[in-house]
Structure 1
Amino acid sequence: MSGPGAPGSHDYRTVASREIFDGRVVRLRVDTLTMPGGGTADREICGHDDAVAVIALDSEDRITLVRQYRHAVGERLLELPAGLCDVEGEEPLETGRRELVEETGLEADSWEPVISIVPSPGFCTERVHVFLATGLREVARPEAEHEEADMSVERMPFADAVEAVLDGRIVNGIAVAGILAARAMTARS
């Protein structure tokens, strides 16, 4: 079925928008949208900077992960080195380079895009760019603060990281998507 009224044919328009919070990491607003069949509905939107995550893969086929406390879930999660694209004018690749050094004390010679994801499109604007970094070398890691000061760096065979995703030891959504996508990408080459 096509034409007016067919699924996917409605033009959603924002007819009103009001900001309710503007914080350091998130911004919250309520948008009023036109709905199929007439009328409007409110949608709560969390504005969030885009982010970058890095699959840092060494010459021994080990992935570098960080274990970080995440207060929202009250757990220390095994994650990819990652960070917000919050420096004006900085491209995602440069953010990835910066975050890899800040969180792990590693630099990489080669960078390849793996996948871009929208982790929570039902309410959040965030888009995450995942890169594969190879040709790793250790460099000085800058002084960390807040939760990052308590973050540990761990290396794990890539195959074990895939198993950790599948058996629930790695549950961070960005890490899950990034690890599985990078494994599929490296298996093709």
Structure 2
Amino acid sequence: MTIKDTAEEWQVTASRTPFVGNKTSVRTDDVVMPDGTVAHRDYQVHPGSVAVLALDDAGRVLVIRQYRHPVRQKLWEIPAGLLDVPGENPLHAAQRELYEEAHVKAEDWRVLTDVYTTPGGCDEAVRVFLARDLSEAEGERFEVSEEEADMELARIPLEELVRGVLGGELHNNCLVVGALSLYAALKGDGVDALRPAEAPWPARPFEV
């Protein structure tokens, strides 16, 4: 048996958008169930995101610590951001986020994994990249504001992040997925077996 997610779309008899925010909105669909009944499904409509697990030559991962108001915690995360432009190339967005949040550039890029963050209540899709061969970016640092103005930067060994994830001490989904995926890749076929940076992404089609 092949374990693989497949595309499918159940009939929607009505759809409305009771809330529209700056970047996301909330939609209510009336969905026909297999038994013929109609169920109301509320979910957040999201443009999609990219995240970057940046690994240096010493085996350390570049992480940031940022306040997240909905959960009232400062979380250790990896650089990430929204796909602000429809059809935007996710690699270009990831390179931008790594520069803006860490003032770092990378020469080697791979797709680490693709995930839906909370598919029961949000259509957000995230592509997590692995970035290697890091160096300081040229020019002035990107000017940050709001929560990002309070960010901390660190480089932490991958094994320490994995221990923190399994110990229940690290909770950001992109960091968790990225760290465990890289750890599995290193223990398996190696990072050279990962998909290329421009690999297709059906959840968020883009222009190469």
Q: Is the pair's TM-score, using the shorter chain for normalization, greater than 0.5?
A: yes
Kindly tell me: are residues 11 and 111 of structure 1, through their superposed partners in 2, closer, same or farther at Cα, counting changes over 3 Å? closer
- Which letter does structure 2 place at the counterpart of 1:135? D
Task: Indicate yes or no: 2:184 matched with 1:184.
Answer: yes
For 1:157 and 1:78, locate their aligned partners in 2 and report how far apart those are by CA, in whole Å.
13
How many pairs were matched up?
180
Q: CA deviation at 1:186?
A: 2.5
For 1:145 and 1:129, locate their aligned partners in 2 and report how far apart those are by CA, in whole Å.
25
Q: CA deviation at 1:25?
A: 2.2
For 2:130 and 2:117, locate their aligned partners in 1 and report how far apart those are by CA, in whole Å.
19
CA deviation string 1:29-80 (max 9, x = no partner): 1100111222201000110111011110000000000000000001100011
Q: CA deviation at 1:182?
A: 1.3
Please give the residue correspondences for 1:1-189 in structure 2 after superposition, counting only pairs within 5 Å. Answer: 12-139=10-137, 140-188=140-188, 189=190
- Which letter does structure 2 place at the counterpart of 1:161? L
Kindly tell me: are residues 19 and 61 of structure 1, through their superposed partners in 2, closer, same or farther at Cα, counting changes over 3 Å? same
Q: CA deviation at 1:147?
A: 0.7
For 1:106 and 1:72, locate their aligned partners in 2 and report how far apart those are by CA, in whole Å.
28
SS in 2 for 1:72: helix
For 2:119 and 2:170, locate their aligned partners in 1 and report how far apart those are by CA, in whole Å.
21
For 2:69 and 2:89, locate their aligned partners in 1 and report how far apart those are by CA, in whole Å.
28
Q: CA deviation at 1:11?
A: 6.7
SS in 2 for 1:148: helix
Q: How well do the aligned residues superpose, as a CA RMSD in angstroms?
A: 1.4
**Unmatched segments (≥5 aa) in structure 2:** 1-7, 191-208
1:5 equivalent in structure 2? none
TM-score by length of structure 2 reads 0.83
TM-score by length of structure 1 reads 0.91
**Unmatched segments (≥5 aa) in structure 1:** 1-9
For 1:178 and 1:27, locate their aligned partners in 2 and report how far apart those are by CA, in whole Å.
27
For 1:75 and 1:98, locate their aligned partners in 2 and report how far apart those are by CA, in whole Å.
26
Q: Which moved more, 1:50-59 or 1:173-182?
A: 173-182
2:204 equivalent in structure 1? none
- For the pair shown, the structure with the greater C-alpha radius of gyration is 1
For 2:144 and 2:86, locate their aligned partners in 1 and report how far apart those are by CA, in whole Å.
21
